[in-house]
Amino acid sequence: DAGVMAKAAVQYQDTPKGKDRCSTCANFIAPHSCKVVAGNISPNGWCIAFVPKS
């Protein structure tokens, strides 16, 4: 299920941060959700809760 933290609380942005982006984050749920952040999440977004996929 999608997460409950607000985008603002994790400084979510609709653009990548360097090479890091939601599509390469372990928390991302394709196509447009996240395990920890609520709302519509872009595969090309980023936030401070980013965890690289292993």
Q: Does 11 bind ligand SF4 (CB under 6 A)?
A: no
Among 2, 13, 16, 27, binds ligand SF4 (CB under 6 A): 27
CB of 14 to ligand SF4, least distance (A): 10
DSSP 1-54: ----B-TGGGT-BSS-BTTB-GGGBTTEETTTEESSB-S---TT-B-TT--B--
Q: Give residues in contact with ligand SF4 (CB under 6 A).
A: 10, 12, 22, 25, 27-28, 34, 36-37, 41, 45-47, 49-50
